[in-house]
C-alpha cells in the first residue's frame, strides 16, 4: 500500500532550490536587521576604504522588508564554489563565470517556479551581493550558519567556500530556526594567517588591509608598506578560509558541470606565468579571456598593477623583459607598479 505524503510549501521550495543547483537553503522572516548597527559603525571607522557604494540604501538596509515593499519572507540559498580546488594566484570564487549572473538566473527560476506552483504571480526579487541587503544576517537567521572570526558565514556541513543569495518574497512562510551557536570556539587560525594583519579583532576586518580589497576594490596604487605582503596573489585571497578547520574538513569539490571551474585563461597557470600574460595583454585580448568573469571588476589596469606586484615579489631577473615593457604602458598606475617590481627583482 502506497501512502501519499503531502510536503509543505517550505519543503517544496527547498527541494526546488536544491534541484536548481543550490547547496544550502533556508527561510527566515523579514524585519529589522540585527547587524545594521555594527555595519554602520564599521563604515564610520573607515574600514570600508574607498567602497563608498556600501553606504547607499542605509535606511533600507536597517529593515529587510523595505528593499521590496510588500515582501515578508526571505528564501536564502548558498552555492558551493569549490573549497577543495587547489590554491593559486586567483581566489577560487573568481576562476569561472560571474557568480552574480549564475545565482540571479537560478533565483529567478525559483521565483517563476513559485508563481507556477501557487497559480498566481507573487511579488519577489533576488539579491546576490547587490542592493541594501545584509545577506549574512538573513542567512544566519535562516539557519545556514554562524559568523566566523574571519567574518565569513560558516556552515557546519559546507565550510565557507560558497556564495550567498536571497529571494525576497511576498509570502508568509514558516521560518527555520536561526543558527545561534558560535562554533569557532577558541580557534584563531584565520586571524593569525592573514599576511597583512587585516583583522582588527575577531569578526572585524579592516578591508583597507585585506588582499582581496587591495587587488580588486582598490582602484589606485597598492600602498608601499603592503605590497610585499600581497605576495604572488593576483586577484583576491583565500588564506583565512584555507586555514579554517571547518573548511579543512567540510569544504566540497566542484561538480563536473560547475560554472565556477577555472576558465582556460587561468587553468594550469602559476602566478608568474599568469602575471606575464596579463602584463602583455591588450584590451581586446583581456575582453576575450575574461568574458563573463568577476575578474573584469578590477579592469585591465588593475590586473596589470596586481601582476606587476606579483612579479616584484615572486619573479626573477628573467621577468625584467615583461616589466620593462610594462613601464611603457599607457596607464600611469601600471607604469609605477612595474617600475617598483623591476627595481625589486634587479636589486636582489
Q: For residue 338, give the CATH number of its domain.
A: 1.25.10
Q: In terms of domains, do 168 and 281 share one?
A: no
Residue 321 designated active-site: no
Clarify whether residues 128 and 188 are in a common domain.
Answer: yes
Per-residue pLDDT reduced to its tens digit, 158-178: 999 999 999 999 999 999 999
Average pLDDT over residues 298-326: 98
**Residues ≥6 apart with Cβ < 8 Å to 138:** 28, 64, 74, 76, 166
Q: Are residues 215 and 273 in the same domain?
A: no
Which residue is associated with the grid cell 608568474? 272
Residues 139 and 172 in one domain: yes
How far is residue 135's CA from residue 127's CA, in Å, rounded to a whole number? 8
Other Cβ atoms less than 10 A from the Cβ of 170: the count is: 14
The pair phi, psi for residue 224, each rounded to 5°, is -55, -40
Q: Which of 228, 243, 259 is the last residue of a domain?
A: 259
Dump pLDDT digits (tens) for 218-258: 999 999 999 999 999 999 999 999 999 999 999 999 998 99
pLDDT digits (tens, 9 = 90+) for 70-101: 999 999 999 999 999 999 999 999 999 999 99
Identified catalytic residue from 129, 170, 176, 280: 129
* Same domain? 2 vs 111: yes
Distance CA 81, CA 24 (A): 12
Cell numbers for 109: 527560476
**Same structural domain for residues 240 and 312?**
no
**Structural domain that includes position 64:** 1-259
Q: Report d(CA 305, CA 317) in Å as an integer.
A: 18
Is the model's pTM score more than 0.85? yes
* Average pLDDT of the chain to the nearest whole number: 97
Q: Is 200 helix (H, G, I), strand (E, B) or coil?
A: strand
pLDDT at 27: 98
Q: Residue 5's pLDDT is what?
A: 64
First to last CA, the chain: 80
- Contact call for residues 319 and 307 (beta carbons, < 8 A): no
Please tell me whether residues 285 and 299 are part of one structural domain: yes
Q: 195 and 48, same structural domain?
A: yes
**Same domain for 96 and 213:** yes
**171: Cβ contacts below 8 Å, ≥ 6 apart:** 9, 72, 73, 114, 122
Residues 50 and 117 in one domain: yes
Q: Which of 259, 292, 317 is the last residue of a domain?
A: 259
Query: What confidence tens digit (pLDDT) does each residue in 120-135 have?
Result: 999 999 999 989 999 9
pLDDT in tens, 5-15: 689 999 999 99
pLDDT for position 59: 93
Q: What is the mean pLDDT of residues 210-214?
A: 98
Q: 274 to each of 159, 204, 222, 299, 301, how far by Cα in Å?
A: 29, 32, 19, 16, 15
Are the CB atoms for 14 and 143 separated by under 8 Å? no
Q: How confident is the model at residue 3 (pLDDT cuts 50, 70, 90)?
A: low
Residues 6+ apart with CB under 8 A from 128: 99, 100, 103, 104, 107, 163, 164, 165, 166
> In this structure, are 175 and 284 located in the same domain?
no
124-127 β-sheet, strand order: 24-29, 73-80, 162-169, 124-127
In the chain, the number of structural domains is 2
Last residue of a domain, one of 259, 276, 301: 259
Residue 215 — pLDDT band, cuts 50, 70, 90?
very high
Amino acid at each position: 500500500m502506497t501512502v501519499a505524503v503531502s510536503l509543505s510549501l517550505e519543503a517544496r521550495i527547498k527541494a526546488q532550490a536544491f534541484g536548481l543547483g543550490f547547496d544550502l537553503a533556508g527561510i527566515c522572516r523579514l524585519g529589522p536587521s540585527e547587524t545594521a548597527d555594527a555595519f554602520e559603525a564599521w563604515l564610520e571607522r573607515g574600514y570600508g576604504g574607498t567602497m563608498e557604494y556600501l553606504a547607499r540604501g542605509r535606511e533600507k538596509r536597517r529593515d529587510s522588508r523595505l528593499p521590496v515593499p510588500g515582501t515578508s519572507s526571505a528564501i536564502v540559498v548558498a552555492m558551493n564554489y569549490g573549497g577543495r580546488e587547489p590554491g593559486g594566484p586567483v581566489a577560487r570564487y573568481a576562476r569561472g563565470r560571474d557568480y552574480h549572473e549564475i545565482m540571479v538566473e537560478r533565483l529567478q527560476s525559483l521565483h517563476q517556479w513559485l508563481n507556477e506552483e501557487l497559480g498566481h504571480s507573487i511579488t519577489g526579487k533576488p539579491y546576490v551581493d547587490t542592493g541594501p541587503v545584509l545577506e549574512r544576517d538573513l542567512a544566519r537567521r535562516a539557519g545556514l550558519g554562524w559568523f566566523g572570526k574571519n567574518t565569513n558565514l560558516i556552515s557546519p556541513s559546507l565550510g565557507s567556500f560558497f556564495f550567498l543569495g536571497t529571494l525576497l518574497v511576498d509570502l508568509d512562510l514558516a521560518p527555520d530556526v536561526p543558527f545561534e551557536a558560535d562554533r569557532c570556539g577558541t580557534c584563531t587560525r584565520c586571524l593569525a594567517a592573514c599576511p597583512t594583519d587585516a583583522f582588527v579583532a575577531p569578526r572585524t576586518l579592516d578591508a583597507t588591509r585585506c588582499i582581496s580589497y587591495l587587488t580588486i576594490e582598490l582602484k589606485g596604487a597598492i600602498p608601499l608598506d603592503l605590497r610585499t605582503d600581497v605576495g604572488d596573489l593576483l586577484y583576491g585571497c583565500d588564506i583565512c578560509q584555507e586555514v579554517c578547520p571547518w573548511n579543512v574538513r567540510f569544504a566540497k569539490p566542484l561538480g563536473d558541470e560547475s560554472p565556477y571551474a577555472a576558465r582556460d585563461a587561468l587553468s594550469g597557470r602559476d602566478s608568474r606565468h599568469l602575471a606575464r600574460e596579463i602584463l602583455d595583454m591588450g584590451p581586446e585580448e583581456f575582453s576575450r579571456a575574461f568574458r563573463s568573469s568577476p575578474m573584469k571588476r578590477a579592469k585591465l589596469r588593475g590586473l596589470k598593477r596586481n601582476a606587476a606586484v606579483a612579479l616584484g615579489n615572486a619573479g626573477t631577473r628573467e621577468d625584467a623583459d615583461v616589466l620593462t615593457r610594462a613601464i611603457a604602458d599607457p596607464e600611469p598606475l601600471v607604469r609605477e607598479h612595474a617600475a617598483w617590481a623591476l627595481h625589486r627583482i634587479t636589486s636582489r
